[in-house]
Structure 1
């Protein structure tokens, strides 16, 4: 059997992670089995286990994948000619939030209250998100507020803290809304 290239392994891991996220969003973390993820991904159970040792690793990979996507978006905003002001930044973040992803995130937060490994990932993700938002607010202050970078960085810290808190609150608000299929009935 031919060995997978690194690029092919990355694609396969992404395929599995995306399938896991769909299952977690639909069924919840606790009620999703590896068999569900296998069926959703169209791969064999052996293929799943060749890339992830267990469901906990899939939860971790899903969380990291979501953060990587968010980092790319926030980084692009910070690098733009006119970065968004804090209100616009929060509005963009909220508008780009997927309800299924929000439900999974809140479930992961719940797991973080009892699992130290998941807690470390969640806290790291929040810290990274805050840092990205801090960079974006700093860029906004430098480019539109004409502040020097050091002053802008210092002034941006409490603003980024508030935007982060509001963004996390919006995740909970979005997660508590009924899924679209429930609102149709």
Structure 2
């Protein structure tokens, strides 16, 4: 019997993850069944269970990939000296993430999947651990970005870097929620809004 190449195994795993992600984004983690996943993927149960033990295992794999992709996207976009301003950085990253780069999902589908992962992590210990690790790593990445702003002299020194990082993360999370719930979000909106807030002048007091 001919050996199956690693390339073939990786491609098959990719096929399963992408198909399951489409199924979950459309039907929800609890609404989707393994039969639905098998139909979406177009493979037999034996072929899928060779890679994943069941739906929970698939959900964990998809969540891990999503978090890793988001963290990598922000790290790559911020890997400049000085890093792009927050409005430019957020817009650049979100355009990449919503273009089908993660699990083959675009726009509202991808946002829907991410919001479901957040919700599922509140009841699934395995997913909660993945989410906690991912969130911690994201905070470190964002804090490094903020420190880059400070070193470049474009951020005041009296605000904790972690506080700025978490605020930028919150803006991104809010964008995901708006896209998932309403489907009308656009990275340009976040860019323009962030740019407007950054340009505000505080009135003179005294």
TM-score after normalising by structure 2: 0.72
Q: Which moved more, 1:65-74 or 1:20-29?
A: 65-74
- Return 164-173 or 131-140, whichever deviates more: 131-140
Q: Are positions 1:115 and 2:124 aligned together? A: yes
Q: Which residue of 2 aligns with 1:135?
A: 144
Report which stretch shifted further, 105-114 or 42-51. 105-114
Distance 1:178 1:169 in 2: 13
Q: Which structure: larger Rg?
A: 2
Query: Counterparts of 1:82 and 1:155 in 2: how far apart (Å)?
Result: 18
Match among 167, 171, 182 for residue 176 of structure 2: 171
Per-residue CA distance 1:77-106 (angstroms, 9 max, x = gap): 122355222233333444444321211121
Q: For 1:40-51, list aligned pairs within 5 A.
A: 40-51=40-51
Q: Distance in 2 between matches of 1:17 and 1:164?
A: 26
Measure, in 2, the Cα distance between the counterparts of 1:50 and 1:121: 23
Q: Which residue of 2 aligns with 1:159?
A: 164
Q: Answer yes or no: is the 8 Å Cα contact 1:79–1:139 preserved in 2.
A: no
**Length, aligned pairs only:** 174
> How far apart in 2 are the matches of 1:72 and 1:113?
24
Is the Cα contact below 8 Å between 1:23 and 1:32 reproduced in 2? Answer: yes
What residue is the counterpart of 1:182 in the other structure? none
Q: Could you say what secondary structure the match of 1:51 adopts? A: coil
After superposition, residues 1-185 of structure 1 pair within 5 angstroms as 1-95=1-95, 96-97=97-98, 98-142=107-151, 144-145=152-153, 155-178=160-183
Distance of 2:59 and 2:18 partners within structure 1: 11
TM-score, length-scaled by structure 1: 0.79
Q: Secondary structure at the match of 1:103?
A: helix
TM superposition outliers: structure 1 runs of 4+ over 6 Å: none
- Distance in 1 (CA, whole Å) between partners of 2:141 and 2:12 is 28
Task: Please list every run of 5 or more consecutive structure 2 residues that lacks an aligned counterpart in the other structure.
Answer: 99-106, 185-206
Question: Greater helix percent: which structure?
Answer: 1
